[in-house]
Amino acid sequence: MKTETFLMELESLCEKGGYTIRKERGAFRGDQCVIEGEKLIVINKNKPTESQAAILAKVLKSLNPDETYIKPAVRKELEKMWERLDRFSEEDITEEVQE
């Protein structure tokens, strides 16, 4: 699946989960937040599409993806991404503990 197509699918799933997505430029990574009761995902337009997809995948994982219909091809890619995100976060924790 092309990265742009995957990104559009993730955006659609996040919007179905009640999030508004804003793409902005700046010196930030991007993440989710709640502003005045509105669930919002802010994505840095300057980052590669893979990084943008990782932010959306992280948000989707917190939305209980087992209760949401996700196209099989998209779910397969998401599960790969979740594995990578889990692996990186575990490595970060291990590095912090060792310091």
Q: What is the tens place of the pLDDT at every residue in 47-74?
A: 999 999 999 999 999 888 888 899 999 9
Give the C-alpha distances (Å, rounded to integers) separating 6 from 3, 34, 35, 36, 92.
5, 25, 27, 30, 26
31 pLDDT exceeds 80? yes
3-98 folds as Zincin-like (3.30.2010)
18 pLDDT exceeds 80? yes
98 pLDDT exceeds 90? no
* Prediction pTM value: 0.84
10 pLDDT exceeds 90? yes
Measured CA to CA, the distance from residue 21 to residue 15 in angstroms comes to 7
What pLDDT, on the 0 to 100 scale, is given for residue 94? 45
